Amino acid sequence: MSGPVVALFHTADVHVATFDRLFGEQTVDVTVQHTVRADLLADAEAAGGPTAEILAEAARAMADHALQSGASAGLCTCSTIAEAAELATLRAGIPFLRVDRALAEAAFTAGSRILIAACVPTTITPTLALFETVAGERGLDRDLRILLLEQAWPYFKDGNEEAYVTAIASGVFEAFAEQPCDAVVLAQASMAMAEPLLADLPAPVFSSPRPAVAAVLERIKKST
């Protein structure tokens, strides 16, 4: 291994390649260690959201992964269980970031009217809570609107990437036409795949993977 280790915690295998690519594009030399717990997202979906028990198990698993990897920092790439990152930070004694914190901070730079698109209902409550927290911390006005694109989620589960991103883009364009906004947020990391299809949208589109990677590297830089 060379450079600091970053422990990445996923709930879908597809994120491994995405974050390997993004970290590989950076000039900072880091080693990325992945673990995938798809059962946690499945449990949250079955429960109608991330219960205290699910978040506790996620935090334990994140901390264990970080400690076993000898990580300097960690990143939870699932927005549904992202709250567990704070607990993992306490357990592991290293900064464990949530994938959507930097996303929320970036989105508010475009304005207060934000359309938050999600494909799985369990993402909505923790994402809204995060955006409210960020806005409150910064004294920002906010007009948050949720766009739930449940019709796209089965395509993701089936591994049909083309249909998944097409359904997301179609839904976003339709929602924007009905009610324009200052920014569009793709709340789940997997939704970043749809960003190229939204290039012609008359508002900036924000997704979480790239700003999350930048936030992790910045945190490592500050600690060294």
State the pLDDT at residue 223.
77
Per domain, the residue ranges of the chain are 5-99+210-223, 101-207
pTM, two decimal places: 0.93
Residue range 130-170, pLDDT digits in tens: 999 999 999 999 999 999 999 999 999 999 999 999 999 99
Q: Are 119 and 156 in contact (CB under 8 A)?
A: yes
Domains 5-99+210-223 and 101-207 share a fold: yes
CATH 3.40.50.1860 at 5-99+210-223, yes or no: yes
Residue range 159-199, pLDDT digits in tens: 999 999 999 999 999 999 999 999 999 999 999 999 999 99
- Parallel, antiparallel or unpaired: strands 73-76 and 5-10: parallel
Q: What are the two backbone dihedrals, phi and then psi, of residue 196, each rounded to the nearest 5 degrees? A: -60, -30
CATH 3.40.50.1860 at 101-207, yes or no: yes
Residue range 56-74, pLDDT digits in tens: 999 999 999 999 999 999 9
State the pLDDT at residue 24.
92
Q: Are 101 and 134 in contact (CB under 8 A)?
A: yes
Q: What are the two backbone dihedrals, phi and then psi, of residue 63, each rounded to the nearest 5 degrees? A: -65, -45
State the pLDDT at residue 87.
94
